[in-house]
Copies of this chain bind each other. A is one copy, B any other.
Amino acid sequence: MPDILIIDDDLHIGNLLEESLKNADYSVSRAFTGKDALQILSTEKPDLILLDLMLPELSGEELLPLIRDIPVIVISAKIDVSNKVDLLLGGAADYVTKPFDMRELLARIAVQLRKNDKNELTFRDLTLYADTLTVKVGNTEIRLTRTECAILKLLMQNPLNPVGKSAMLEKISADTPDCTERSLKQHISNIRKKLQSVNGEDYIEAVYGIGFKMKS
């Protein structure tokens, strides 16, 4: 029974959401302000978050980058397109505009939860299937090695912030215990080459003296 956190100050919509979700057999938590939400998130870890952008005190835009490792579906009245791009770049998993069709929302929720189960990560037009060691660049699939996959996964998990080199080494040491900063450099180069072979684009950016991040 996946747990879903609704962050919305509008009681009417919130109640409607809660009821529909409970009918669909999800377990539901509620937050009514951004700060509420932060407090709840400091103790609980839901499987998915529904986030209304219009929040008192701390807006949804501000809240979004503070959430990690949990798929967020943004609910908003704004139809602004650049805004949508910003949201998705900023880590939102998906996006629906008010007024929305409840069946559509439920479908999108199911998609996100399934992705989560299957260890699937998306960033721009990259989709990483960590279980099967493949990435899709646009429509073409590419095979990665185990370490390449582990590295790309780390980068795609925090698309905004750079990941330090030592941090990477620690986290992938399970697979490759004797990977050094020297070889890490080489793996990054190999990942780049594989991704570039599709459309010539470079998805990875170096942060001098720190580590690497996805290019925004």
Contact = CB atoms under 8 A, between A and B. Distances in A.
How many copies altogether? 2
Contacts of A207: 132-133
Interface residues of A, number: 37
Given A36-B107, A42-B110, A133-B210, 10 more contacts: A24-B39, A33-B107, A34-B107, A35-B107, A38-B107, A58-B111, A66-B118, A132-B160, A132-B162, A132-B213
Contacts of A175: 209
A10 B97 CA distance: 27
Interface in A39-60: 39, 42-43, 57-58
6 contacts: A35-B106, A35-B110, A35-B111, A38-B114, A57-B107, A58-B111
Contacts of A106: 35, 39
Interface of A: 24-25, 33-36, 38-39, 42-43, 57-58, 66, 103-104, 106-108, 110-111, 113-114, 118, 131-133, 145-146, 160-162, 175, 207-210, 213
